[in-house]
């Protein structure tokens, strides 16, 4: 079974990825992480990407696809179950992933799309606080500390990420939706798209994902 997981910032995609990997022994592939690692390790693909980034250009579909192939090739003999994260992000990448699946004899992926209403996402992201000392996370709206600004676990000071302002958050979400809408549209036409309401608890959301997988795969 192969899955593509979609979810805007604040949708809990990271948590659900971890749970899927554990429960179904999937191999998690984040093209963003892989790209950063390729650049650090100065691989052929990494060097090409570095040059583009230095020129202020986007790392295009060809290069990201090349990177994806580099990751899958050595893993394929040990697994036939991948969780794709951050790919495909463009219509071109959808057909590239399709070709990669054929090439490596993998089943075509199903797409799980985590939906959370924008206003909830804004509260989740702007309300987020992290302890400067022990890194525990809180949320002023959903998981407040006993004393404002003070960590419940270690009494350390709470901090807010600078890019979590309401304005920045709205812009990130706008870009996310603009970018992903065409990709989700294609998977919808293919009948491979499962959009789920991801407003509940992490357990609740995972149960929904689990049900889709059990029913269809
Ligand atoms: Zn703390």
pLDDT of residue 162: 76
- What are the tens digits of pLDDT across the range 77-119? 999 999 999 899 999 999 999 999 999 999 999 999 999 999 9
Single out the residue of 110, 85, 119 nearest to residue 16, CA to CA. Answer: 85
**What is the per-residue pLDDT across 48-82, written as a single tens digit (0 to 9) for each?**
999 999 998 888 999 999 999 999 999 999 999 99
**161 an active-site residue?**
yes
Residue 89 annotated in active site: yes
> Would you say residue 149 has pLDDT above 90?
yes
Report the pLDDT value the prediction gives residue 164, as an integer from 0 to 100. 76
Q: What is the pLDDT of residue 151?
A: 97
Give mean pLDDT, residues 6-29. 94
CB–CB of 94/64 below 8 Å?
no
Radius of gyration of the chain (CA): 19
Give the H or E element holding residue 36.
helix 31-40
Q: How many CA atoms lie within 13 A of 2 on its CB side?
A: 21
- For residue 163, pLDDT over 80 is answered with no
How would residue 161 be classed by pLDDT, with cut points 50, 70 and 90? Answer: confident
| Protein residues placing their CB within 5 Å of the ion ligand 1 | 131, 133-134, 136, 151, 153-154, 156
The predicted-structure confidence for 186-215, as pLDDT tens digits, reads as follows 999 999 999 999 998 999 999 999 999 998
**Beta partners for residue 143, in sequence order:** 139
CA atoms 52, 53, 55, 57: torsion sign: positive
Q: What is the pLDDT of residue 92?
A: 93
Tokens coding 16: 């659900």
Alpha carbon distance 46, 58 (integer Å): 13
Catalytic residue among 89, 96, 124, 129: 89
Note whether 128 and 164 are within 8 A (CB).
yes
Distance 138 CA to ligand 1 centre (A): 10
Give residue 216's pLDDT: 83
Residue corresponding to tokens 């959009």? 195
């Amino acid at each position: 079974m192969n899955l593509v997981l979609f979810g805007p910032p604040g949708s809990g995609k990271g948590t659900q990825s971890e749970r899927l990997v554990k429960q179904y022994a999937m191999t998690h592939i984040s093209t963003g992480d892989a790209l950063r690692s390729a650049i650090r390790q100065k691989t052929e693909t990494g060097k090409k990407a570095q040059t583009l980034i230095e020129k202020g250009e986007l790392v295009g579909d060809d290069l990201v696809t090349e990177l994806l192939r580099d990751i899958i090739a050595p893993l394929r003999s040990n697994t036939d179950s991948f969780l794709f994260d951050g790919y495909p992000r463009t219509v071109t990448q959808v057909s590239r992933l399709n070709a990669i699946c054929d090439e490596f004899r993998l089943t075509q992926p199903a797409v799980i799309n985590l939906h959370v209403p924008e206003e909830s996402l804004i509260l989740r992201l702007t309300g987020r606080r992290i302890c400067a000392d022990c890194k525990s996370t809180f949320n002023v709206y959903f998981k407040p500390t006993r004393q404002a600004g003070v960590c419940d676990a270690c009494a350390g000071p709470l901090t807010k990420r600078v890019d979590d302002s309401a304005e920045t958050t709205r812009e990130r979400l706008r870009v996310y939706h603009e970018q992903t809408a065409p990709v989700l549209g294609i998977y919808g036409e293919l009948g491979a798209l499962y959009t789920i309401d991801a407003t509940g608890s992490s357990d609740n959301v995972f149960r929904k994902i689990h049900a889709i997988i059990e029913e269809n795969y």
